Amino acid sequence: MLKKIAIFGVGLIGGSFALALKKAGAVEQIVGAGRNSATLQRARELGIIDVIASSVADAVAGADLILIAAPVAQTGAILASIQPHLQAGTIVTDAGSTKSDVVLAARAELGDKIAQFVPGHPIAGREQNGPDAALADLYVGKKVVLAPMPENAEQDVAKVAAAWQQCGAHIHRLSAQQHDAIFAAVSHLPHVLAYALVDEIANKPHAESLFQYAASGFRDFTRIAGSSPEMWRDISLANQDALLHELDAYLLQLTRLRGLLAAGDGAALEAIYGNAQRARHGWISAIEAAEKQNKEGGD
Amino acid sequence: MLKKIAIFGVGLIGGSFALALKKAGAVEQIVGAGRNSATLQRARELGIIDVIASSVADAVAGADLILIAAPVAQTGAILASIQPHLQAGTIVTDAGSTKSDVVLAARAELGDKIAQFVPGHPIAGREQNGPDAALADLYVGKKVVLAPMPENAEQDVAKVAAAWQQCGAHIHRLSAQQHDAIFAAVSHLPHVLAYALVDEIANKPHAESLFQYAASGFRDFTRIAGSSPEMWRDISLANQDALLHELDAYLLQLTRLRGLLAAGDGAALEAIYGNAQRARHGWISAIEAAEKQNKEGGD
């Protein structure tokens, strides 16, 4: 049982972490901190946090674990504010969607306390945000990536892992660089592609008649273009190198496909489409098998 | 009440048309035709069709309306087989996803009977195919685009429109060229983009670990890459010009966005993402308002 957890940013991600740990009986007290007092008040009303910290020093004092779940662009500033008050024995982790930039910020801001920071990224979300969107079971069966640094002690990484496991999550370990390369390909690039398509269509003179005929395929394809522009601006810039790498590979792929289409090469197009269909089908089957296993394991 | 409807291709699209008209009591007899006798048998078992045609001549004889709902690449051959038997007073329509190529094929195959062909495209579908996937309410509240040619008599267009309206669909009219330009942008291009991304990822040496971390955003974005490769090869080639036009515009957009990312221009990226988010939000709100109105109208 942890005595005290401090959470900076008590929205969907931080709030769900709090609710899950409370439900698991894994913590005595949860203290909320953040810039938005209305959000903090709401989180206390909803029973997500027990106390609103009166200051950063107050939030950090005596905490076993600190989670930073604010927008990723604020991580550096929050770490800087925590640093002077950070006691030995307190572990800090985060929930940011990018990791190399967070590691850089942590090294810059925490200095000789860097070993107390264990970078993390829970792979879960909803379309809604804020404390009202928080769910005790948001992380059940979901992945949490931890990206330990060479400085981290194994017991500190295990402490963070244990907290997420209490939330029902599965722990995966990657280096910050591996993490950012993987998520550039399977998450950040698709977001950029979806934003680019909707912006492109919205800017056409006949946008209205185009949207009028867009159907369910377009709706699913562009769902992620409904995400927060600020958040995705920050992620794009934070993971600039890996995202540029994936974007260039995709531009090459699309240019190749354009050539096949212009040449009327139906067999080559069908081979690409067929390879994609098979790969996606295999992936979906693997997900469904894993979900089934999770369910059976939980019975 | 129509006396006889002949349907070439009794899968999801043709089968749902048949079930809807039967449910509406709008037709006395539905005759099924096609290359696959197992599919025809199954459609008869399911009560989708009343009779399996013994020949094309048998299917066409005395029909008020003929729907071609086979894969779009077969449309020309089916029209050619129908032509010698086509009597005055019988109207032919189709359900193909592209229209300019169908108009070309119809002009080539039907000759002086061209006025009897009214091109159409129901905007509805499911992930499943075949007669077992057919639903009597597949078209309720959905759009059907008719793309009449100068040769068509208004009463013949109205006859096709009336049949689709009996299925619960809303009729829209576009020229074949307008239709193909619109669907290149909001349907064909997204399919190509999704296929290209999944193929790209599947071909990487670390594909397995990439798929392992792909989550719900990737799942929705790539859902359309689960579609039939043969069908989308045919659509890509049939709508080659309009699709190339959209693909080039998108490549330009993506190259521009790449430049902004490489320059670290967060404000410009946020403007694109924000414009996309607002446009998509407006579109979804309009869809939901229309759905609500449909429901109220139906009460």
3-state secondary structure labels for all residues of chain B: CEEEEEEECCCHHHHHHHHHHHHCCCEEEEEEECCCHHHHHHHHHCCCCCEECCCHHHHHCCCCEEEECCCHHHHHHHHHHHHHHCCCCCEEEECCCCCHHHHHHHHHHHHHHHHHEECEEEECCCCCCCHHHCCCCCCCCCEEEECCCCCCCHHHHHHHHHHHHHCCCEEEECCHHHHHHHHHHHHHHHHHHHHHHHHHHHCCCCHHHHHHHCCHHHHHHCHHHHCCHHHHHHHHHHCHHHHHHHHHHHHHHHHHHHHHHHCCCHHHHHHHHHHHHHHHHHHHHHHHHHHHHHHHHHC
A225 with B277: Cβ contact below 8 A: yes
Task: Fill in the amino acid letter for B107.
Answer: R
Neighbour tally for A3: CB within 10 Å: 11
Q: Do B279 and A211 touch (CB under 8 A)?
A: yes
pLDDT at B295: 67
Determine which of B201, B253, B257, B288 to mutate to test the interface with A (most A C-beta atoms within 10 Å).
B201
The Cβ of residue B54 has, within 10 Å, a number of other Cβ atoms equal to: 10
* The pLDDT value given to residue A1: 86
Instruction: Flag whether pLDDT at A224 surpasses 60.
Output: yes
- Please tell me the predicted confidence (pLDDT) of residue B299: 42
Measured between CA atoms, the residue of chain B closest to residue A210 is: B182
Radius of gyration of chain B (CA): 21
Q: B161 to chain A, minimum CA–CA distance in Å?
A: 18
pLDDT tier for residue A91 given thresholds of 50, 70 and 90: very high
Does B261 sit within 8 Å of A186, measured CB to CB? no
Residue ranges covered by each domain of chain A: 2-174, 178-264
Partners of B262 on chain A (C-beta within 8 Å) are 240, 244
- Best B101, B121, B191, B200 member to test A by mutation, with max A CBs in 10 Å, is B200
Query: What mean pLDDT comes out for the span B100-127?
Result: 95
Nearest residue in chain A measured CA to CA from B212: A283
Task: Return the number of CB contacts < 8 Å for A and B.
Answer: 276
Backbone phi, psi, residue B227, to 5°: -75, 165
- Residue B297 pLDDT > 90, yes or no? no
CB contact under 8 A, B197 and A250: yes
Mean pLDDT of B107-124: 97
Answer yes or no: do A221 and B218 touch at CB < 8 A: no
| Inter-chain CB proximity A276 and B251 less than 8 Å | no
Q: What is the pLDDT of residues A232-274, one digit of tens each?
A: 999 999 999 999 999 999 999 999 999 999 999 999 999 999 9
A chain contacts of residue B266, beta-carbon cutoff 8 Å: 233-234, 236-237
pLDDT band of residue B292 (cuts 50, 70, 90) is confident
Best residue of B138, B213, B291 to probe chain A, by most A CBs closer than 10 Å: B213
Q: Say whether A272 and B123 touch across the interface (CB within 8 A).
A: no
| Chain A neighbors of B171, CB-CB under 8 A | none
Closest CA to A184 of A65, A63, A286, A101: A101
Dump pLDDT digits (tens) for B24-35: 999 999 999 999
The CATH architecture assigned to A2-174 reads: 3-Layer(aba) Sandwich (3.40)
Q: Would the CB atoms of A211 and B270 count as touching at under 8 Å?
A: no
Residue range B62-83, pLDDT digits in tens: 999 999 999 888 999 999 999 9
Task: Return the number of other C-beta atoms located less than 10 Å from residue B296's C-beta.
Answer: 8
For the segment B96-115, the average pLDDT, to the nearest whole number, is: 97
Mean pLDDT of B177-195: 98
Q: pLDDT class for A72, splitting at 50, 70, 90? A: confident
Confidence of residue A298 (pLDDT cuts 50, 70, 90): very low
With a CB cutoff of 8 Å and minimum separation 6, the contacts of A271 are none
Nearest to B211 among A123, A191, A283 (CB): A283
pLDDT confidence of residue A125:
83
| The pLDDT value given to residue B298 | 47
Question: Are the beta carbons of A87 and A94 closer than 8 angstroms?
Answer: no
pLDDT in tens, A174-207: 999 999 999 999 999 999 999 999 999 999 999 9
Q: Does the beta-carbon distance from A254 to B209 stay under 8 Å? A: no
Q: Is the pLDDT of residue A230 over 70?
A: yes
Give the pLDDT confidence score for residue B160 in this predicted structure.
Answer: 98
Task: Tell me: pLDDT of A98 over 70.
Answer: yes
CB contacts, 8 Å: B233 with chain A: 266, 269-270, 273
Mean pLDDT of B130-139: 96
Closest Cα in chain B, distance from residue A250 (Å)? 7
| Whether residue A110 has pLDDT greater than 70 | yes
Distance from CA of B210 to the nearest CA of A (A): 6
Region for A34 from its dihedrals, namely left if φ exceeds 0, alpha if ψ lies in -120 to 50, beta otherwise:
left
Q: Chain-wide mean pLDDT for chain B?
A: 95
pLDDT value for B296 = 66
Architecture of domain A178-264: Orthogonal Bundle (1.10)
Residue of A128, A199, A235, A284 best to disrupt the B interface, most CBs of B under 10 A:
A199
Mean pLDDT of A34-63: 97
More confident residue, A294 or A140: A140
- pLDDT, chain A, mean: 95
